[in-house]
Amino acid sequence: MKAVLAIYPGSFDPVTNGHLDLIGRGAKIFDRLVVAVLRNMEKDPLFSVSERLEMLREVTQPWPNVEVDVFEGLLMDYARHKNAQVVLRGIRAISDYEYELQMALMNRKLEPRIETVFMMPAEAYSYLSSRLVREIARLGGSVKDLVPPAVEERLKAKVA
């Protein structure tokens, strides 16, 4: 049987416990999981791509089959280049569904050999997003339990 490689793409600005929940689930099912940070010129990020990669590398250490990478351009070009069979995405609530469905179907049109697989996080993370974490941190609230301790430290330093 051939090994299944999955790509988990996103902004990860910053990585949250919800992302980690999904990474843990993906690492159990796929032989290799590549967490791929999109280098997106349009967004105005809080953390630079290299900061996001550093945090991801640190917090994914417990999983030997998880790697961290960066990509730009079309996800399907990147996935093809990596010889991936799967793209992993998370669905938190119905509100994610419409956008994710559109992306998955467009990606299938671009590359029919790659399947998008959706996973749901634990309920506790279903309302958690990087955007909310950034907002709470900016306004001085506690992000404990929402992000790993290493990310909490960096958020504090960033907004101080």
Respond yes or no: is residue 81 known to be catalytic. Answer: no
Long-range contacts of 98-103 (CB under 8 A, 24+ apart): none
DSSP state of 21: H
Q: Distance (Å, rounded) from C-alpha 68 to C-alpha 56? A: 7
State in angstroms the smallest separation of the CB of 1 from ligand ADP.
27
92 assigned to active site: yes
The one among 6, 19, 46, 59 contacting ligand ADP by CB under 6 A: 19
Q: Is 19 a catalytic residue?
A: yes
- Kindly write out the interface string for residues 85-114 of this chain, putting x where it contacts ligand ADP by CB under 6 A and - elsewhere: ----xx-x---x------------------
Task: For the segment 57-86, give every residue that binds ligand ADP (CB under 6 A).
Answer: none
Between residues 93 and 160, which has the closer beta carbon with respect to ligand ADP?
93
Question: Site residues for ligand ADP, window 116-155 (CB under 6 A)?
Answer: 121, 125, 128-130
Respond yes or no: is residue 43 known to be catalytic: yes
Q: Nearer Cβ to ligand ADP, position 5 or 9?
A: 9
Pairwise CA distance, residues 37 & 9, whole Å: 6
Structure-token match 């730009």, residue found? 72
Report the chain's terminal Cα–Cα distance, integer Å. Answer: 51
Minimal CA–CA distance to 103: which of 118, 113, 93, 92?
Answer: 118
Three-state secondary-structure class, residue 155: helix
What residues make contact with ligand ADP under the rule CB under 6 A? 10-12, 16, 18-19, 21-22, 89-90, 92, 96, 121, 125, 128-130
